[in-house]
Every structure is written in structure tokens, then in C-alpha cells.
Amino acid sequence: MDVTFKIRRRNPDVPDQQKPYWQEFTLNEVEPTDRVLELLHRIKWEQDGSLSLRRSCAHGVCGSDAMRINGVNRLACKILVRDLGEKIQVEPILGLPVIKDLIVDMQPFFDHYKQVMPFFVNDEPLPADGRERLQTQSDREQFDDSTKCILCACCTTACPSFWANEQYVGPAAIVQAHRFIFDTRDQAGAERLDVLGEPNGVWRCRTIFNCTPACPRDIEVTKAIGEVKLAIRKGATSGIIQPDAIH
């Protein structure tokens, strides 16, 4: 099959390309099972070497090739041509500054990520036997879903609240905080809840649900955000109130 790509481009180093513009490319002999990333590679290698995009593992693990495909945030390495048809529109994810073509500046996204202390905190000595801090399977299940985040920014850049206010920490940062807030071994839940209780924290979420379908890892993002909201209302800290107890 023949496939036509319509790509939103921008090159700040070229005077007449500093404003965004659309460019079309046609590819022949495309298989329905070809991935969008493979076809973008073909465009770059066979038609226009100046096309810029970000990618790494090409297996849906690194999250670096997040882009807006036919109006929906997706990973280019996971979406197949048969799911899109013969006309494919590709543009950078929204809400972050565009560096060039499909590459955006991820620094604001990672600045919000750092705000929520996305690391394990426990200053108590290890058990006497020197082994790791043990946890029951049921305790792990409370936050297991939010451990799947790959920081692709698909959820955050699908959020109208983030588009309207770049100071909002965004869904991805809240998911990362959720992973530690409800971990019974962690001791910094209260500090994270304080951060997310600020005006640009979790309360900026309007429960629009754009984030959940945008997640390529099928994380229930809106549910995690709701659990953090309830935890703040209940004055919850890690190890005291679990998600099941605050519904």
C-alpha cells in the first residue's frame, strides 16, 4: 500500500522554517504491520535527512518517541499502519517547547518530575539479617500499576490543564508520586503530599480523563490521581492509609 505522511515541522536555524509548517511525504510498498517509527526512518533515510525525531529502544520501553499521531499521543514504535490507514498525520506532543520538528524540550517535564521526590526514602537500618525490606504481595498491589510509567510524557502532554498552565506538575509526576506515597516501606509520603497539595499540584487536575487513554503502558492514570487527592483529604501518609481504605 501507499501511505501519505503529513508532518508538522519547524527548524529554528533556517529563517523561513522558524514558524511551524506542514510537509507531506509519500511512501510506497508499505506493509500494514509496519510501525510508524519504521516509516519515519524511511522518510529520513530515503527522502529528507533533515527530518528530526527522538527515539532509542524502538520497543516501547524507553518512551522517547512519543508524538501526536492522527491527533492522539502515541509511541511511534508501537502503533501500526493498519491501525491508522493510508493517511497519517504526525506532530510533536503538545504543551512543551519544540526544539526541531518532532523533538520537544523535555526539561520542564522532568523539572516537575523532580518536584515529587521520585525516589525511595527510608533511613531506618536494614533488617538484622541484612536482607531487603520485605513487603506483602497485597501491599505491592496497591501501587503496582503506577510502577509501569516510562516517563514518555504522553499523559501530561494530553492534559488540557497542563496546556493551560505549564506550572501544573502534570499526570506523570503525580503517578510517580503515587508509586512511593502508597509504598509501605517509604517514609516520605507526607512530604510528597505536601508538594502535591500546593495550588499547582494535584488539584489542577479536572478529571478530564485524557491522560488514561494516552498512556502507552495502560496505567489507570486518572484513578491514581484520584487516590492521591483522597489521600491528601484524609491526611494520609505512607504506610497509614492505603488506596483501598480511602475510597
Same-domain check for residues 224 and 121: yes
Same-domain check for residues 66 and 185: no
| Residue 134 pLDDT | 87
Same-domain check for residues 142 and 199: yes
pLDDT, averaged per 10 consecutive residues of the chain (247 residues), comes to 97 92 97 97 97 95 97 97 97 97 98 97 86 90 96 98 97 97 95 95 96 97 97 68 44
Same-domain check for residues 170 and 233: yes
Same-domain check for residues 64 and 139: no
| Residue 237 pLDDT | 47
Same-domain check for residues 187 and 232: yes
- Measured CA to CA, the distance from residue 86 to residue 18 in angstroms comes to 29
- Per-residue pLDDT reduced to its tens digit, 35-78: 999 999 999 999 999 999 999 999 999 999 999 999 999 999 99
- Measured CA to CA, the distance from residue 220 to residue 202 in angstroms comes to 15
Same-domain check for residues 124 and 20: no
Same-domain check for residues 85 and 115: no
Please identify, among 43, 72, 104, the residue that sits at the C-terminal boundary of a domain. Answer: 104
Q: What are phi and psi of 94, to 5 degrees?
A: -90, 160
Angle at 84 between CA 78 and CA 85, to 5 degrees: 135
Helix (H) or strand (E) holding 89: strand 87-91
Q: Which three cell numbers stand for residue 14?
A: 533556517
Predicted TM-score (pTM) of the model is 0.90
**What CATH number should be reported for the domain holding residue 25?**
3.10.20.30
- Comparing C-alpha atoms, which of 170, 169, 188 is closest to residue 179? 188
Q: What are phi and psi of 39, to 5 degrees?
A: -75, -35
Q: Which three cell numbers stand for residue 132?
A: 531487603
| Residue 240 pLDDT | 47
Same-domain check for residues 129 and 158: yes
CA 55 vs. chain centroid, Å, equals 14
DSSP state of 160: H
The percent of residues above 70 in pLDDT, for the chain, comes to: 95
Domain with 54, as residue range(s), is 3-104
How many domains does the chain divide into? 2
